[in-house]
Chains A and B, each alone.
Chain A
Amino acid sequence: VTPDDDFESFRGTLSHLDTEAEQRIRRRFEQLRDRGSNVTPTLNDVSPEGTEIVELEAVAATDDVSPRHTHRVLMGMAAAAALLALIGIVTLVRNADDTADVASGVDGVPLTELANRAANQPDLDLLPGQYLYRSSIEGASFDAIDALAAGQSVELFELWLDREGTGLRRINESRWTSTSPGTPQGAVSTEPRDIQVRPAQPFFNPSLTYAELRALPTDPEALYAAARRTGGDPSDPAFEAQTLSWWLAIETTPPAVRAAAFEALAQLGAEPIGSVTTYNGQDGFGYQGAGEDGAPWIIVIDAASTRVLAFARGAGAGDALWTDATRFDEYGDQWIVDALPS
């Protein structure tokens, strides 16, 4: 079996468009065309002037997500075990002998207090010609229960972006380590490389442009609804928490939005779990919540600065056959610069 054979097999199972379906699509297209607007406006369609639309949509969607506020504090034995595994991924592949430093009995700072602190911090806005720089690490560990594939991946990034979404993405290291008995053992790494980022790219995460980020709602429920809408269906508190963490992890997110994000995380049921050391050795407080299927997630915060150090989510007890879902994002240095690196 060659890679080409594999790729050929990948092309299978495509659907064919029959005449009736084609006619239905045509009618729908003509309806939309004649209406002259999108059917499903989203955050991605909203310009700075469209802030009101975002907020109206977010409020309208609030009813859909109200059950979230009766969060599940569930964590039975299986989920607790999954949580320990998730904490472990904060130190993922750094060293097999390392374990996360989770100090028991440390309450941490309540998320509502972090919201107060965030609200009082200065508002950093990028000026034309400036770039926001951030270093980050993305990691994942997958270990299918049938042992058909297991491994870990870690990528180290640096990113410079201006208000237009133009800049540079530098991949300093991309490492994939196989531990599966069915695949070649060992690690695969790639050379560092730079990628020019062209205009109109999302700003630091897959959801928003810079203008949209600056226009996010400042009400916790509306912000949560906005996070929910960026991801599509089905809703899952773990994904919503991850989206909130993305927004929190950008220094130019307005203070009022960051405050709302902390409030929204509190409403999601995130509980302090004490001190946590991240994969890259940063110390912060961890807050843990549960996803739709009981899958745990953890956000690690530097309480003094309210900076997000890391976010991780893992597989739930109900997802035992799919144990790849342990993933984390870690955020390092971040500052505003006037030029791209030479």
Chain B
Amino acid sequence: VDGTTDEPEARLRTGLADAEFEALYRASVGRIYAYVARRVGPALAEDLTAQTFAEAWAGRHRYDASQGAPIGWIFGIATNLLRHHRRKEETQLRAFARRGLDPVDSFDETEVVDRVMVSEGWRRVASVLAELSEEDRNILTLAGWAGLSYDEIAAAIDIPVGTVKSRLSRARTQLARRLASAIDLT
């Protein structure tokens, strides 16, 4: 199990062996950290990443391979933990939309941040994210920042693939509209 493959034999089983869990950890810890840090900032990201894997460890015997590759499962746990910090996330997004204060950039100067994107365009993205419902924000960030496929997102947040597609399309439309409006006025 490398965290991203969808091997036929894996789909027939329930639970993750210890070695499989370790492989999943190594394959995905960086991605989970990046996703969580982008959403709530580095100050919380390390602890939330550790909590994500602790929860996964505790529930590794209940992992159901028929629901998809383990990468979706692990991102689902992370997304669930993020729910407890949604206000912090929304507050940060709004602050950034207003003042251009990027929580990632400002909290850890050593992070590699694309300076071009820490700009007006990214402020628009932040404002769109803050407006989205929690579920839409989860879908958009799982696609955009976690890089999950439709199937993986569906497994992560336990909704049908069709719903993922329609809601992602809607969220992307909102994103495009907001960015286009910024461009039109400049």
Contacts and interface: CB of A to CB of B under 8 A. Distances in A.
Interface of A: 1-3, 6-7, 9-18, 21-22, 24-26, 28-29, 31-33, 36-40, 42, 44, 140, 142, 144, 147-149, 176, 178, 180-184, 190, 193, 195-196, 198, 200-201, 206, 230-236, 239, 319, 321-322, 324
Contacts of B179: 1, 6, 9
19 contacts: A3-B176, A9-B117, A10-B145, A13-B104, A15-B37, A15-B38, A15-B45, A15-B111, A15-B113, A22-B33, A26-B50, A29-B53, A40-B84, A144-B127, A180-B181, A182-B185, A190-B166, A198-B159, A322-B94
Contact of A234 (B87, B158, B163, B185): B87
A42 B38 CA distance: 23
Nearest to B177: A183
Contacts of B174: 176
A193 B163 CA distance: 10
Interface residues of B, number: 76
Contacts of A190: 166, 170
Nearest to A145: B98
B58 A36 contact: yes
B152 interface: no
B175 interface: yes
B34 A148 contact: no
Given A15-B108, A17-B33, A25 B50 contact: yes
A13 B134 contact: no
Interface string B111-145: 11110111001101101001100100000100111
Of residues A14, A26, A42, A190, which shows the largest number of chain B Cβ atoms within 10 Å of its Cβ? A14
B9 interface: no
Contacts of B149: none
Contacts of B177: 149, 178, 183-184
Interface string B159-181: 11001001000101111111111
B17 interface: no
Interface of B: 25, 29-30, 33-35, 37-38, 42, 45-47, 49-51, 53-55, 57-58, 80, 83-88, 91, 94, 97-98, 102, 104-105, 108, 110-114, 116-118, 121-122, 124-125, 127, 130-131, 134, 140, 143-145, 147, 158-160, 163, 166, 170, 172-185
Given A1-B180, A14-B37, A190-B166, 7 more contacts: A3-B175, A25-B53, A28-B46, A33-B57, A40-B84, A182-B182, A234-B91
A321 B173 CA distance: 23
Nearest to A231: B87
Contacts of A142: 131
A196 B176 contact: no
Given A200-B158, A206-B134, A322-B97, A40 B181 contact: no
B125 A1 contact: no
A18 B110 CA distance: 10
Which 10 A-B pairs have CB atoms at the shortest separation, nearest pair first?
Answer: A182-B181, A12-B117, A32-B54, A28-B50, A15-B37, A29-B50, A12-B114, A10-B144, A17-B30, A232-B84
B158 A7 contact: no
A239 B87 contact: yes
Contacts of B111: 15-16
A123 B128 CA distance: 41
B83 to A, nearest CB: 7
B97 to A, nearest CB: 7
Contacts of A28: 46-47, 50
A63 B18 CA distance: 42
A182 B177 CA distance: 9
Contacts of B173: 3
A7 B111 CA distance: 22
Of residues B49, B97, B181, B184, which shows the largest number of chain A Cβ atoms within 10 Å of its Cβ? B181
A3 B125 CA distance: 13
A147 B181 CA distance: 9
Given A183-B177, A232-B88, A14 B54 contact: no
A190 B166 CA distance: 10
A217 B182 CA distance: 47
Nearest to B116: A12
Contacts of A25: 29, 33, 46, 49-50, 53
Nearest to A198: B158
Contacts of B144: 7, 10-11
Contacts of A196: 160
Given A148-B181, A234-B88, A17 B114 contact: no
A342 B56 CA distance: 38
